């Protein structure tokens, strides 16, 4: 008979991480959680990943360069910046206050992201719309899909964002713009945090206004004059003076993207080449646009109602700590716009990679990791949280590429395009490859 001492015991930990929402933040959270050793399921409401990333395309502009290089050095979500770089149509371009910008091809970026998730062994479930949650006390135990299926987990990351649904776009905006979120087809966004009983907060706009309107829309390039298309594809960006009668500076006040809310963006037609012609305005009446030389046959892509308005954002955020754990619930984390007044793909990715990593830490009973404020990412996450505790702060939007936070980056010395300097900064903070660390 074998003695007890002769037995070999092995404890196998299995951490089931459920990420809800397959935008840039959700994909980043899923990859980060999987690299930490979690068994990860990613639930996406529609038939494609990346959400508004399918109509975005701008990265590495201004302070986003610094944040991207920090993220690559930290590991985990850095793979998504590598994919963006590989699918870039243009690199190191400049346009009206934005330096060293890159533009990825919005038609070619989703498939390699899906492959990266598969290689990370993330179980991606498309057309899986969460409609409710299961709770035991103050703890989530599962989510319920539209078809009644229950998906159980140990820890959850809400990456459902703050856009829409159509009722909010009608109430706070100019109606449903039939945008890339496709609520009419796949059902409106449902917030996990709200279903779990977390009080959500809304960003403030102008007097008596809530939320903000998405800052751009897309035009089919083949509907533009050939000479415009040629120059746009050669340079990556074009600035065309706006006929005086069409200048509407008041539109700048409704834009979510504060880095583009300058009079130059009202006085000019600014196009970026992301595969389509990205028009840097929240809306432009189609008949007026067609009166501009070269735009006589212009046709909007997404949003299809881009002549009237755009989707409304910052209507469903939660308070959270600097580890991105949602306030008031035991095992619920958040990233992207759910975690604050964040603008941009870079901002979504860096919050996602921290939330996914910390979800695994929390499930294992380990202390959650907080990125130090000596890094741009760490300072950004903390600064946005601080600002959201004030009424004035809820009126602003935060991004590495412009506005209040980019100004702050420059003042406190966090903005850099020196890759070695950025690597040294991350190393000094002790966070080199932190998100490649396997915890299970």
Please write the tens of the pLDDT for every residue from 193-208: 999 999 999 998 754 5
Superfamily of domain 16-210+312-436: FAD/NAD(P)-binding domain (3.50.50.60)
Band (25; pLDDT cuts 50, 70, 90): very high
The confidence score (pLDDT) of residue 274 equals 97
The confidence score (pLDDT) of residue 10 equals 41
Three-state DSSP at 1 gives coil
Task: Report whether pLDDT(263) > 90.
Answer: no
Q: What is the pLDDT of residues 323-375, one digit of tens each?
A: 999 999 999 999 999 999 999 999 999 999 999 999 999 999 999 999 999 99
The confidence score (pLDDT) of residue 14 equals 87
Three-state DSSP at 294 gives coil
Of the listed ranges 179-183, 294-298, 411-415, the one predicted with least confidence: 179-183
Token pair belonging to 20: 């809800």
The confidence score (pLDDT) of residue 249 equals 58
Q: How many CA atoms lie within 13 A of 340 on its CB side?
A: 31
Q: Please, what sign has the CA dihedral across residues 25, 80, 419, 356?
A: positive
Domain ranges of the chain: 16-210+312-436, 223-289
- The larger pLDDT score, comparing residue 359 to residue 174, is at 359
DSSP character at residue 412: T
Token pair belonging to 147: 């078809």
The confidence score (pLDDT) of residue 243 equals 76
């Amino acid at each position: 008979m074998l003695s007890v001492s002769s037995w070999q015991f092995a404890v196998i930990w299995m951490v089931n991480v459920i990420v809800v929402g397959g935008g840039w933040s959700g994909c980043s959270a899923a990859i980060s959680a999987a690299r930490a050793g979690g068994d990860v399921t990613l639930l996406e409401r529609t038939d494609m990943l990346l959400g508004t990333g399918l109509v975005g395309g701008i990265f590495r502009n201004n302070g986003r360069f610094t944040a991207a290089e920090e993220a690559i050095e930290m590991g985990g979500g850095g793979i998504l910046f590598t994919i963006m770089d590989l699918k870039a149509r243009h690199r190191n371009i400049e346009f009206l206050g934005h330096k060293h910008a890159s533009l990825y091809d919005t038609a070619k970026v989703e498939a390699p992201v899906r492959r990266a998730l598969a290689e990370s062994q993330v179980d991606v479930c498309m057309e899986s719309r969460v409609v409710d949650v299961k709770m035991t006390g103050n703890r989530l135990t599962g989510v319920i899909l539209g078809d009644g299926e229950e998906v159980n987990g140990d820890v959850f990351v809400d990456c459902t964002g703050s856009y829409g649904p159509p009722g909010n776009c009608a109430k706070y905006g100019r109606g449903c713009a039939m945008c890339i979120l496709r609520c009419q087809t796949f059902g409106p966004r449902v917030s996990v945090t709200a279903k779990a009983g977390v009080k959500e907060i809304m960003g403030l706009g102008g007097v008596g206004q809530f939320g903000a309107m998405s800052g751009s829309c897309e035009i089919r390039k083949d509907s533009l004059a050939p000479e415009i298309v040629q120059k746009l594809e050669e340079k990556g960006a074009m600035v065309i003076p706006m006929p005086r009668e069409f200048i509407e500076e008041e539109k700048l006040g409704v834009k979510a993207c504060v880095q583009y809310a300058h009079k130059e963006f009202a006085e000019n037609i600014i196009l970026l080449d992301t595969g389509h012609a990205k028009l840097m305005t929240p809306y432009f009446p189609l008949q007026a646009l067609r009166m501009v030389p070269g735009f006589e046959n212009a046709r909007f892509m997404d949003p299809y109602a881009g002549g009237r308005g755009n989707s409304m954002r910052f209507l469903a955020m939660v308070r959270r700590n600097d580890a991105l754990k949602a306030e008031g619930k035991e095992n619920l984390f958040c990233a992207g716009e759910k975690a604050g007044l964040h603008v941009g793909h870079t901002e979504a990715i860096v919050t996602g990679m921290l939330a996914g990593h910390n979800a695994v830490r929390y499930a294992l009973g380990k202390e959650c990791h907080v990125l130090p404020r000596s890094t741009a990412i760490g300072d950004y996450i903390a600064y946005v949280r601080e600002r959201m505790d004030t009424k004035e702060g809820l009126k602003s939007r935060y991004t590495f590429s412009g506005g209040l936070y980019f100004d702050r980056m420059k003042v406190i010395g966090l903005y850099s395009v020196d890759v070695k300097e950025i690597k040294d900064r991350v190393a000094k903070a002790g966070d080199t490859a932190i998100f490649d660390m396997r915890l299970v």
